[in-house]
Structure 1
Amino acid sequence: MRILHTSDWHIGRTFHGHSTLAALAEVLGALVDQVREHDVDVVIVAGDVFDSATPAASAYTLLDETLLALHETGATVIMTSGNHDSAARLGFHSRLLRDGIHVLTDPLAIATPVTVHDVHGPVHFFGIPYLEPAIVRQHWTDAEGNAPALRTQAQVMQHAMGLVREGMVAHQGRSVAVAHCFAAGVDATVGLEREVRQGGLDMVPLASFDRPDYVALGHIHGRQQLSERVRYSGAPLHYSFGEQHKERGSWLVDLDADGLASTQWLSLPVPRALVTLTGALDEILSDQNAAAHADDWVCAVYTDPVTQHEPMRRLRERLPFCALVQHQPEGADAGDERSYAQRLRGAVTDTERIEAFLEHVRSGQGATERETELIREVLDERVRAEALV
Structure 2
Amino acid sequence: MRLIHTSDWHLGQYFFTKSRAAEHQAFLRWLTEQVENHQVDAVIVAGDIFDTGSPPSYARELYNRFVVELQRTGCQLIVLAGNHDSVATLNESRELLSCLNTRVIATVGEDLSEQVLVLNQRNGTPGAVLCAIPFLRPRDLIASQAGQSGSDKQLALQEAIAAHYDALWHAAQAKRDQLGLPLPIIATGHLTTVGVSTSDSVRDIYIGTLDAFPAQAFPPVDYVALGHIHRAQCVAKTEHIRYSGSPIPLSFDELSKAKSVYLLDFDGATLNAI
Classify the TM-score, shorter chain: 0.7 to 0.9
Rg larger in structure: 1
Does structure 1 residue 114 correspond to structure 2 residue 117? yes
Deviation at 1:72, TM superposition (A): 1.3
1:219 aligned to which of 228, 237, 261: 228
SS, match of residue 71 in structure 1: helix
Question: For 1:323-381, what per-residue CA distance to the aligned partner results, in whole angstroms no more than 9, with x for missing partners?
Answer: xxxxxxxxxxxxxxxxxxxxxxxxxxxxxxxxxxxxxxxxxxxxxxxxxxxxxxxxxxx
Q: Structure 2 vs 1, CA of residues 92 and 170 (structure 1 numbering), >3 Å: closer, same or farther?
A: farther
Alignment partner, residue 256 of structure 2: 245
What is the CA–CA distance in structure 1 between the aligned matches of 2:51 and 2:112, rounded to whole Å?
23
Question: For 1:27-80, what per-residue CA distance to the aligned partner results, in whole angstroms no more than 9, with x for missing partners?
Answer: 111111111111111000000001111112111101001111111111100010
Alignment partner, residue 5 of structure 2: 5
What is the CA–CA distance in structure 2 between the aligned matches of 1:191 and 1:261, rounded to whole Å?
34
Alignment partner, residue 176 of structure 1: 186
Deviation at 1:92, TM superposition (A): 2.4
CA root-mean-square deviation: 2.3
What is the CA–CA distance in structure 1 between the aligned matches of 2:74 and 2:141, rounded to whole Å?
34
TM-score by length of 2: 0.84
Deviation at 1:261, TM superposition (A): 1.5
Q: Structure 2 vs 1, CA of residues 135 and 209 (structure 1 numbering), >3 Å: closer, same or farther?
A: closer
Aligned pairs, number: 252
Alignment partner, residue 164 of structure 1: 168
Question: For 1:219-258, what per-residue CA distance to the aligned partner results, in whole angstroms no more than 9, with x for missing partners?
Answer: 0001011111110000011111010111111000011113
What is the CA–CA distance in structure 2 between the aligned matches of 1:40 and 1:79, rounded to whole Å?
16
Q: Structure 2 vs 1, CA of residues 232 and 191 (structure 1 numbering), >3 Å: closer, same or farther?
A: farther
Are the aligned partners of 1:191 and 1:222 in contact in 2 as well (CA < 8 Å)?
A: no
Alignment partner, residue 146 of structure 2: none
**For residue 233 of structure 2, what is the amino acid of its counterpart?**
Q
What is the CA–CA distance in structure 2 between the aligned matches of 1:204 and 1:110, rounded to whole Å?
21
Equivalent positions of 1:108-147 (< 5 A) are 108=109, 109-111=111-113, 112-118=115-121, 121-137=126-142
TM-score by length of 1: 0.60
Q: In structure 1, list runs of 5 or more residues that go unmatched.
A: 139-148, 264-389
Equivalent positions of 1:247-262 (< 5 A) are 247-262=258-273
Q: In structure 2, list runs of 5 or more residues that go unmatched.
A: 144-152, 177-182
What is the CA–CA distance in structure 2 between the aligned matches of 1:90 and 1:245, rounded to whole Å?
32
What is the CA–CA distance in structure 2 between the aligned matches of 1:110 and 1:126, rounded to whole Å?
9
Q: Relative contact order: is structure 1 or structure 2 higher (C-alpha 8 Å, sep ≥ 6)?
A: 2
What is the CA–CA distance in structure 1 between the aligned matches of 2:42 and 2:191, rounded to whole Å?
21
What is the CA–CA distance in structure 2 between the aligned matches of 1:92 and 1:197, rounded to whole Å?
26
What is the CA–CA distance in structure 2 between the aligned matches of 1:220 and 1:155, rounded to whole Å?
21
Q: Structure 2 vs 1, CA of residues 222 and 93 (structure 1 numbering), >3 Å: closer, same or farther?
A: same
Deviation at 1:110, TM superposition (A): 4.4
SS, match of residue 216 in structure 2: helix
What is the CA–CA distance in structure 2 between the aligned matches of 1:242 and 1:71, rounded to whole Å?
35
Alignment partner, residue 80 of structure 2: 80
What is the CA–CA distance in structure 1 between the aligned matches of 2:155 and 2:57, rounded to whole Å?
35
Alignment partner, residue 370 of structure 1: none
Does structure 1 residue 229 correspond to structure 2 residue 245? no
**For residue 186 of structure 2, what is the amino acid of its counterpart?**
V
What is the CA–CA distance in structure 2 between the aligned matches of 1:153 and 1:84, rounded to whole Å?
20
SS, match of residue 93 in structure 2: helix
Deviation at 1:185, TM superposition (A): 2.3
Q: Structure 2 vs 1, CA of residues 96 and 122 (structure 1 numbering), >3 Å: closer, same or farther?
A: same
Alignment partner, residue 36 of structure 2: 36
Are the aligned partners of 1:78 and 1:103 in contact in 2 as well (CA < 8 Å)?
A: yes
Alignment partner, residue 186 of structure 1: 196
Are the aligned partners of 2:80 and 2:104 in contact in 1 as well (CA < 8 Å)?
A: yes
What is the CA–CA distance in structure 2 between the aligned matches of 1:121 and 1:48, rounded to whole Å?
27
Question: For 1:274-308, what per-residue CA distance to the aligned partner results, in whole angstroms no more than 9, with x for missing partners?
Answer: xxxxxxxxxxxxxxxxxxxxxxxxxxxxxxxxxxx
Alignment partner, residue 179 of structure 2: none
SS, match of residue 171 in structure 1: helix
What is the CA–CA distance in structure 1 between the aligned matches of 2:36 and 2:141, rounded to whole Å?
37
Q: Structure 2 vs 1, CA of residues 192 and 166 (structure 1 numbering), >3 Å: closer, same or farther?
A: farther
Are the aligned partners of 2:197 and 2:231 in contact in 1 as well (CA < 8 Å)?
A: no
What is the CA–CA distance in structure 2 between the aligned matches of 1:102 and 1:200, rounded to whole Å?
30
Larger CA deviation: 51-60 vs 116-125:
116-125
